[in-house]
């Protein structure tokens, strides 16, 4: 009897079908879509508060994400391990990987929280206008303090996404988003007993919502483990070999995310030197882009989960069908947004303009409309990078994306941004051209790697024969209980 016969199906749909993909992907798309909506509303509220606050959120938030991203990539890879172990019907290793990933997340998160103390020096070096620097330090420091919660909730959500229970992830994220939005309004402007905290209130709302999601995920994991007989308590110990394998595959993904985000952080650094208006316009353009981009991350994670499942089952060829369905779906979704960016940009910008400063926003609005045309050019390549990139990572192919993203980020984004700023006197449109070329190159690279087929022969999990006798006993825990 092969692995596919012994493992529980991930859904009731036929393996490799569009139906299966949608059952797994739609809750994640909604979940990540709610996150993008939260960021969208957050920026609207900060636009109403002040242009300085809006300008500060991009470099501060992006720099926080740059430092966080390598640890986030490791935590996010929990779902891939869970998917492959579930496909191989090895529940003891599912429970064990969640504990190892949680320990890594807590350790890295605590270290990253210390970056709060370096914030004044970091943003002084950037040389942005003084009032923007003050806001940047406040926003960055607060987000850094909440890093452990972000990494732990990412790890815990991987347990459910890897099992194919993406509806659980969706519900928890939607609840967290709702809490964030309520706290955003109350803490930014001051409602009832709450003082008006401005940009600090926006950051605090994000941290509190993440803590809520982390706690809720943990409660649900314990409940699910008891109901479905996962040996959570029996595997609550340090497993050196499993922890090292988690780092072996998760660290390249984390570093790949880091070099990707770091490139954009450098981009934001040089845009910030052009002026507050240019930085605010770039922030708004990326914020609108997030409505199309971030939900695609949910689709990518679904693809990574299903590819990982097929690898664990020993049916790698079946994953091709899933990737093809995801690509058509993603291109259609992104295509609809690109048409909106091109033909109705002022309608999309209307919520920002509602209570913003009239003349200042009008000039910035014209800039945003031009920048959205760059988004239209690179949008489809973003889909290629996400779908094909997450597909190969689902098998364990994480080193190639790391190297490719690093080279593309350096030569297509960082070097051009430096040259444009230092030798051409700085130019917003030229800098955005560099961003566009970077996304195009990455999309083509991930497409080529997937079609080379190397991912089909890869796997994250160790052969069953290499398990210790104690591990084998735990593997039969559910059947013996």
Q: Structural domain of residue 361, as residue ranges?
A: 16-460
User: Binning pLDDT at 50, 70 and 90, where does residue 157 land?
Assistant: very high
Is the Cβ–Cβ distance between 11 and 161 less than 8 Å? no
For residue 473, tell me if it sits in a domain. Answer: no
Nearest to 25 by CA among 390, 336, 381, 337: 390
Q: Judge whether 250 and 113 are in contact, CB under 8 Å.
A: no
Does residue 419 register a pLDDT over 70?
yes
Q: Residue 92's pLDDT band (boundaries 50, 70, 90)?
A: confident
Q: What is the pLDDT of residue 42?
A: 72
Task: Determine the pLDDT at residue 109.
Answer: 93
Ranges 2-16, 171-185, 215-229, 333-347: which has the least confidence: 2-16
pLDDT of residue 345: 92
Mean pLDDT (whole number) for 146-153? 93
Residue 481 belongs to a domain: no
Residue 359 has pLDDT above 70, yes or no: no
Task: Return the higher-pLDDT residue of 461 and 28.
Answer: 28
- The mean pLDDT of 97-115, rounded to a whole number, is 92
- Contacts of range 59-62, beta carbons closer than 8 Å, 24 or more positions apart: 59/123, 59/126, 59/128, 59/136, 59/265, 59/268, 59/269, 59/272, 59/279, 60/123, 60/135, 60/136, 60/137, 60/139, 60/140, 60/143, 61/139, 61/140, 61/143, 62/261, 62/264, 62/265, 62/268
Q: Which tokens go with 62?
A: 């992006």
Residue 268 lies in a domain: yes
What pLDDT score does 469 carry?
42
Residue 204 is predicted with a pLDDT of 92
In the predicted model, is pLDDT for residue 12 greater than 60? yes
Residue 244 lies in a domain: yes
What confidence category does residue 357 fall into, taking pLDDT thresholds of 50, 70 and 90? low
Which residues, at least 6 apart from 137, have a Cβ–Cβ distance to it below 8 Å? 60, 119, 120, 123
**Mean per-residue pLDDT, 213-221:** 95
468 pLDDT more than 70: no
Find the radius of gyration of the CA atoms of the chain. 22
Backbone dihedral region of 194: left (phi > 0), alpha (psi from -120 to 50 degrees) or beta?
Answer: beta
Question: Is 467 inside any structural domain?
Answer: no
Instruction: Please give the Cα distance from 140 to 36 (Å, whole number).
Output: 19
If one compares 327 and 250, the residue with the highest pLDDT of the two is 327
Note the pLDDT of residue 479.
46
User: In sequence order, which ranges of 314-398 are alpha helices (DSSP H)?
Assistant: 319-343, 345-353, 358-393
Indicate if the pLDDT at residue 325 is higher than 90.
yes
Please report whether residue 384 resides in a domain. yes
Separation CA 94–CA 157 (nearest Å): 13
Using an 8 Å Cβ cutoff, are 393 and 308 in contact? no
| CA–CA gap between residue 334 and residue 332 (Å, rounded) | 6
The proportion of the chain whose per-residue pLDDT surpasses 90, expressed as a percent, equals: 38
Report, as an integer, the average pLDDT of 293-305.
91
Which pLDDT belongs to residue 212? 95
Q: What is the mean pLDDT of the chain?
A: 85
Residue pair 44/352 in contact by the 8 Å Cβ criterion: yes
Give mean pLDDT, residues 314-321.
88
pLDDT tens string 377-416: 999 999 999 999 999 998 889 899 999 999 999 999 999 9
Report yes or no: 214 and 154 within 8 Å, Cβ to Cβ: no
The domain total for the chain is: 1
What is the mean pLDDT of the segment spanning 191-211? Answer: 87
Least confident piece of the model among 154-163, 306-315, 333-342, 443-452: 306-315
Higher pLDDT, 380 or 55: 380
Q: Is the pTM value of this prediction over 0.85? A: no
Domain assignment present for residue 2? The answer is no
The pLDDT confidence band at residue 423, using thresholds 50, 70 and 90, is confident
Instruction: Give the pLDDT confidence of 267-288 residue by residue, as tens digits.
Output: 877 887 787 778 778 888 988 8
User: Residue 40: pLDDT above 80?
Assistant: no
pLDDT of residue 425: 73
How many helices (H) and strands (E) the chain has is answered by 20, 0
Cα separation values, 330 from 233, 242, 291, 304, Å = 40, 34, 13, 14
CA distances to 45, 106, 341, 365 from 368, rounded to whole Å, are 18, 39, 10, 5
- Whether residue 111 lies inside any domain: the answer is yes
Round to whole Å and give the CA distance between 198 and 211: 21
Nearest to 375 by CA among 305, 296, 442, 285: 285
First to last CA, the chain: 23
Which tokens is 478 given?
A: 């559910």
């Amino acid at each position: 009897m092969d692995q596919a016969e012994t493992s529980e199906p991930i859904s009731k749909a036929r393996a490799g079908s569009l139906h299966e993909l949608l059952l797994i992907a739609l809750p994640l798309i909604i979940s990540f879509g709610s996150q993008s909506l939260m960021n969208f509303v957050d920026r609207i509220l900060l636009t109403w508060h002040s242009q300085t606050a809006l300008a500060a959120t991009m470099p501060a938030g992006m720099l926080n994400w740059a430092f966080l991203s390598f640890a986030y990539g490791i935590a996010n890879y929990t779902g891939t391990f869970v998917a492959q172990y579930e496909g191989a019907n090895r529940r003891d290793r599912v429970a064990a990987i969640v504990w190892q990933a949680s320990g890594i997340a807590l350790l890295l998160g605590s270290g990253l929280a210390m970056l709060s103390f370096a914030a004044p020096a970091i943003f002084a070096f950037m040389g942005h206008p003084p009032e923007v620097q003050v806001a940047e330090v406040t926003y960055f420091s607060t987000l850094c303090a909440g890093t452990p919660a972000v990494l732990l909730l990412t790890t815990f959500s991987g347990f459910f996404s890897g099992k194919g229970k993406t509806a659980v992830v969706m519900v928890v994220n939607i609840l967290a988003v709702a809490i964030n939005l309520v706290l955003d309004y109350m803490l930014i402007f001051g409602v009832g007993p709450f003082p008006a905290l401005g940009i600090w209130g926006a950051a605090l709302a994000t941290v509190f919502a993440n803590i809520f999601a982390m706690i809720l995920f943990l409660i649900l994991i314990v409940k699910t483990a008891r109901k479905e007989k996962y040996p959570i308590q029996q595997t609550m110990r340090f497993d050196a070999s499993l922890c090292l394998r988690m780092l072996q595959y998760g660290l390249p993904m984390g570093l790949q995310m880091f070099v990707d985000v770091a490139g954009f952080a450098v981009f934001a650094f040089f845009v910030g030197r052009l002026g507050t208006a240019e930085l605010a316009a770039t922030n708004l353009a990326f914020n609108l882009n997030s409505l199309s981009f971030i939900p695609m991350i949910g689709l990518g994670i679904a693809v990574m989960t299903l590819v990982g499942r097929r690898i664990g089952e020993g049916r790698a060829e079946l994953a091709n069908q899933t990737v093809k369905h995801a690509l058509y779906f993603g291109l259609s979704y992104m295509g609809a947004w690109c048409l909106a960016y091109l033909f109705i940009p002022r309608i999309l910008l209307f919520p920002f303009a509602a209570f913003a400063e009239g003349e200042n926003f009008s000039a910035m609005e014209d800039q945003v409309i031009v920048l959205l045309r760059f988004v239209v050019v690179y949008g489809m390549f973003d889909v290629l990078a996400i779908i094909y990139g997450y597909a190969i990572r689902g098998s364990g192919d994480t080193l190639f994306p790391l190297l490719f993203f690093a080279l593309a980020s350096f030569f297509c984004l960082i070097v051009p941004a430096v040259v444009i700023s230092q030798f051409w006197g700085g130019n917003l449109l030229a800098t955005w051209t560099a961003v566009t070329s970077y996304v195009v190159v990455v999309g083509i690279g991930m497409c080529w790697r997937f079609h080379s087929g190397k991912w089909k022969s890869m796997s994250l999990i160790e052969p069953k024969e290499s398990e210790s006798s104690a591990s084998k006993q735990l593997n039969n825990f559910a059947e013996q209980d």
